């Protein structure tokens, strides 16, 4: 039985590769929405509910080969189902904005990339190669995104989709995909003082395939997904996020400190380099443009 989607509320997920700014931007959007008087629930996957957090521990702790890929996929789905039942759906029923750090798209993209013939061997992506949870960079982070905890490397894509349809059966109203060159993401982590061994262990090629996977997903689901150019200062990225989210969250109009380029779409530092623009190609209304 799939989860019934209550009317009311807005379900927004933040997706993208490691270190692209998901958590940073989720928090900023949450603050903007709260300032505008909206109830906001900030949550994450895997986890986001007491039972789901226990399942998260089951998946993330212990030996790398503790679970087979299929068992791990089932655990991810169990956690997601619990998260939906206990946290997401009740919040949506109250009319809240639910902002979720990773969701089903991470499972789709990471497992697909981990199955790629050119990917690092599965044992690395699956466990030993996954970022450890004690790196300086992750010490205060609410999530430990990685090939291992974002998806279920090795499970067949058909199984991933079939299980999703069967036990989850709903998609976010809006998915914001933070798009950033993995080398820039690495530099940000290094700037913070982390050792960023995750990049070394999984390899730049792997992270590039993850990026490509999310871009393909955005192209395949233009009504739901918005690719957000994650380059530039956090303020600049936040303005793009607000613009992309305003169609679903009209109260964002008029929030945020006024910043050059927010409302006008004026040239940005990165414009013209061929990188995806936040709003490019989706054909979606851009309510935030008029803010
Ligand atoms: N626009 C930005 N410019 C420079 N540094 C940034 C920017 N946004 C975030 N950062 C920094 O980059 C690092 C990664 O950001 P953040 O944790 O938000 O990304 P994430 O996508 O949630 O990462 P993870 O995949 O590890 O969860 C953090 O140190 C953060 O402070
Ligand atoms: Mg994060």
Mean pLDDT by 10 residues, the chain (291 residues): 78 96 98 97 97 93 84 94 98 97 95 60 36 31 44 76 97 98 89 70 88 97 98 98 96 65 37 35 34 30
* pLDDT at residue 148 in the model: 54
Number of residues that this document lists for the chain? 291
What are the tokens at 222?
Answer: 């233009």
* pLDDT at residue 115 in the model: 65
The residue to mutate among 15, 18, 20, 21, having the most atoms of ligand 1 within 8 angstroms of its beta carbon, is 21
CB-count burial class (<10 Å; 0-12, 13-18, 19+) for 8: exposed
Ligand 1 cavity residues, CB under 6 Å:
18-24, 141, 143, 145, 178, 188-189, 192, 233-234, 237
| Ligand 1 centroid from CA 150, angstroms | 16
Q: What is the DSSP letter of 39?
A: -
* pLDDT at residue 198 in the model: 64
* pLDDT at residue 68 in the model: 87
| Ligand 1 centroid from CA 19, angstroms | 5
- Closest residue by CA, ligand 1 atom 27: 145
Atom number in ligand 1 closest to CA 143: 27
Nearest ligand to the C-alpha atom of residue 27: 1
Task: Tell me, yes or no, if the pTM score tops 0.85.
Answer: no
Phi-psi region of 169 (alpha: psi -120 to 50; beta: other; left: phi over 0): left
Provide the β-strand partners of residue 225. Answer: 175
Cα separation, 265 vs 268, whole angstroms: 8
Q: Could you tell me if 179 and 240 are in contact, meaning their C-beta atoms sit under 8 angstroms apart?
A: no
Q: Could you tell me if 129 and 65 are in contact, meaning their C-beta atoms sit under 8 angstroms apart?
A: no
Comparing CA positions, the residue from 226, 205, 204 lying closest to residue 217 is 226
Cα separation, 210 vs 180, whole angstroms: 11
Cα separation, 248 vs 244, whole angstroms: 8
- Closest residue by CA, ligand 1 atom 2: 234
Atom number in ligand 1 closest to CA 24: 18
Compute the half-sphere exposure of residue 215: CA atoms within 13 Å on the CB side of its CA: 17
């Amino acid at each position: 039985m799939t989860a019934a989607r209550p009317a009311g509320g807005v379900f927004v997920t933040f997706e993208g590769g490691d270190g692209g700014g998901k958590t940073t931007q989720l928090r900023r959007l949450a603050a903007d929405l709260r300032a505008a008087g909206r109830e906001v629930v900030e949550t994450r996957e895997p986890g986001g509910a007491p039972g789901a957090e226990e399942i998260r521990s089951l998946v993330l702790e212990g030996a790398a080969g503790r679970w087979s890929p299929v068992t791990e996929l089932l655990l991810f789905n169990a956690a997601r189902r619990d998260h939906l039942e206990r946290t997401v759906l009740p919040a949506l029923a109250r009319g809240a904005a639910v902002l979720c750090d990773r969701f089903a798209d991470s499972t789709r993209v990471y497992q697909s990339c981990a199955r790629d013939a050119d990917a690092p061997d599965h044992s690395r992506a699956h466990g030993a190669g996954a970022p450890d949870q004690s790196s300086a960079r992750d010490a205060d982070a609410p999530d430990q995104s990685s090939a291992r905890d974002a998806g279920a490397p090795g499970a067949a894509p058909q199984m991933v989709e079939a299980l999703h349809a069967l036990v989850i059966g709903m998609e976010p109203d809006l998915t914001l995909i933070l798009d950033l060159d993995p080398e820039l993401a690495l530099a940000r982590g290094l700037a913070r003082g982390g050792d960023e061994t995750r990049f070394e262990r999984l390899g730049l090629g792997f992270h590039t395939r993850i990026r490509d996977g999310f871009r393909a997903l955005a192209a395949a689901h233009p009504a739901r997904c918005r690719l957000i150019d994650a380059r530039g200062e956090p303020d600049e990225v936040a303005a793009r996020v607000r613009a992309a989210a305003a169609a679903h969250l009209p109260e964002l109009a008029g929030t945020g400190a006024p910043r050059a380029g927010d409302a006008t779409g004026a040239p940005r530092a990165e414009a013209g380099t061929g990188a995806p623009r936040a709003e490019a190609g989706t054909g979606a209304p851009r309510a935030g443009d008029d803010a």
